[in-house]
Structure 1
């Protein structure tokens, strides 16, 4: 589906959600102090619906919208109580994300924020929502400086917490000579490449022969591909954005490299398909895959596919579980105010819950999931048997 079609799909479901909310009746919305559950509870998503990582923002928005529809349809929060979700586009810009969050914070009817998905945006926004005492549940944004206090929460397990699956796979396969090609602009990928994966490599007996940084603006990998093909490592880790990975894999194969590609969550959900035959056999750890066969994941995948006509990506599962975390929080605290949601999110985090991503636990306000290692077979993801 094109980016334009995807955005239309998100907009359509958001409008549907808003229409459902019109039927709500009872107490007024907009409290910021305690006092029960309002009939209408407004959430705002501030995410990249356009720009280089719009696939993450759109996916999260779709997953969130599906969860809102389920919460309302099930009467999960009580008869006549509805969640209302409004999405705004941060468009890959830190300043715009900050502006939209500030705008939402000044609206007394907004009880919580979802997003953004980029670490740079989220790190800029986090101090703002902490000062404004507005509970915010981020997805993606796995870098430092995001979960910083009582009002900041993350519904994506940092990639580093399950990326060890890749290091274990390489060790088990005897692919011990590894090269790393990574995006040094994107904090999550840079931290993984520069500090976290080297430690994983050491723990698993791997050797990082070469580590090459590039920028988010890098779209031609000819020189890097020639260098890596000449060195011939057993495996190349591509810690890049999705579009960059497609180009890098293609140019590496064209340069004669025939080793193992190991990707990251940016390659998930079919993004690797853009590289055609060059991506076949690529493995990558993810927090969610539509190939998972546990009951909750299968139910989410079926519902998402019915609504949107395609399989969900990890971003959608994260957005879905984020909304269900908020819904559980409201129910747990019995209070839909900002303070009530904040207290409820912490309460649910202390207990954990089962979501689309499996058995979810937390370290403080930060989500943890088991993760799975998948292989792209050219048409779909399959769970890598280990």
Structure 2
């Protein structure tokens, strides 16, 4: 039921953003938003993702919004280029970009570690333990964390790799606790963060935890928030964003503490702008339209974040789009 509700929110937000993008000049013909739901990675399969893409392609769509999760987006990048069909993926990996695959950054494997390290240094926490997913996502986070940490003077006393779908990290947490540090960094997709939190609680260890956008899952799964109490993480929305404030004033409920809806609105807005700017309403025309999108105010990120594409630019968000937040008392607060 929760998944169905989440998908409904994503679709509604896409539609709202699409309408907003077209409002500037309108479209001289009707349009249809076609939805293909798949059980893709990590819980599903790449075969399911491929079949979903092919259903949309065969339906004659002129562009695709989705999928999410880096592993899926790396595959859909290849599919989009083969089909010469514009795709706007939402993931955290810059390698998901290509000629036909545009990237709306829901987090950033390359940039989030810098924000985490800066927060650590600001709080004087320069000696840490680290746990990470053994996956493409976890490995990328780890690589970029180490590149930022060393020159900043942050040392890693111990590290442990875990399965991204594990339900038990007791052994790894015990080993990291033995390092004697009071700060833990988690880097991963987020499913294993539940197991890490459970092991911390069961073992009575209460380090200050810093992590990436993994804890955005707390918005979808309220029952997880108590176990992540006090964890500092990276999110996609900020209290000083005027576009988001306007959306909340217009209709508070859908946009309150809902970063996925906020990002979905932005992606709909991008597609609407591209359709409006497209010289022809076919895949190549939409490709050209996407490349002409410039300086569109984003609902995500800190105030002043904008969305721009170009001939060789496939990264949507420009500016200070990553936001430090903390789960406290069941609510996400700006840190």
Shift of 1:69: 5.0
C-alpha change, 1:83 and 1:318, in structure 2 (3 Å) is: farther
For residue 241 of structure 2, what is the aligned residue in structure 1?
294
Equivalents in 2 of 1:241, 1:139: separation in Å? 14
Shift of 1:356: 0.7
Q: How many residues align?
A: 321
Equivalents in 1 of 2:19, 2:24: separation in Å? 11
For residue 322 of structure 1, what is the aligned residue in structure 2?
267
Alignment map for 1:184-195 (pairs within 5 Å): 184-185=134-135, 187-193=136-142, 195=143
For residue 65 of structure 1, what is the aligned residue in structure 2?
15
Match of 1:368 among 308, 317, 320: 317
Equivalents in 2 of 1:181, 1:383: separation in Å? 24
Render the CA deviation track for 1:300-349: whole Å, top value 9, x for unaligned.
3455743x4x734332222221111111122233433211210111121x
Alignment map for 1:1-386 (pairs within 5 Å): 2-7=2-7, 10=8, 60-71=10-21, 75-78=23-26, 81-92=29-40, 93-108=45-60, 110-140=61-91, 142-143=92-93, 145-149=95-99, 151-156=100-105, 158-185=108-135, 187-193=136-142, 195-268=143-216, 270-271=218-219, 273-275=222-224, 277-286=226-235, 288-289=236-237, 291-302=238-249, 305-306=252-253, 308=254, 311-348=256-293, 351-358=294-301, 359-361=305-307, 364-369=313-318, 370=320, 371-384=322-335
Name structure 1 gaps, 5 residues minimum.
Answer: 11-58
CA-based RMSD: 2.5
Equivalents in 2 of 1:362, 1:205: separation in Å? 35
Shift of 1:77: 4.4
C-alpha change, 1:248 and 1:162, in structure 2 (3 Å) is: closer
Render the CA deviation track for 1:150-196: whole Å, top value 9, x for unaligned.
x11011152422441211110011111112211112x2232111x10
Equivalents in 1 of 2:11, 2:210: separation in Å? 27
Equivalents in 2 of 1:254, 1:232: separation in Å? 18
Equivalent position SS for 1:128: helix
Instruction: Check whether the contact 1:63–1:320 (CA below 8 A) recurs between aligned residues.
Output: yes
Equivalents in 1 of 2:234, 2:217: separation in Å? 12
Render the CA deviation track for 1:241-297: whole Å, top value 9, x for unaligned.
3342123113113313222111221212634853454422111122x22x5232102
Equivalent position SS for 1:64: helix
Instruction: Check whether the contact 1:183–1:215 (CA below 8 A) recurs between aligned residues.
Output: yes
Which TM-score applies when normalising by structure 1? 0.75
Render the CA deviation track for 1:117-160: whole Å, top value 9, x for unaligned.
122222122122112111000011x33542122x1101115242
Shift of 1:94: 1.0
- Greater shift, 295-304 or 128-137, is seen at 295-304
Render the CA deviation track for 1:339-371: whole Å, top value 9, x for unaligned.
1210111121xx332111141255811133411
- Greater shift, 63-72 or 201-210, is seen at 63-72
Equivalents in 1 of 2:256, 2:167: separation in Å? 28
Equivalents in 2 of 1:192, 1:303: separation in Å? 37
Equivalents in 2 of 1:148, 1:80: separation in Å? 30
Equivalents in 2 of 1:333, 1:212: separation in Å? 49
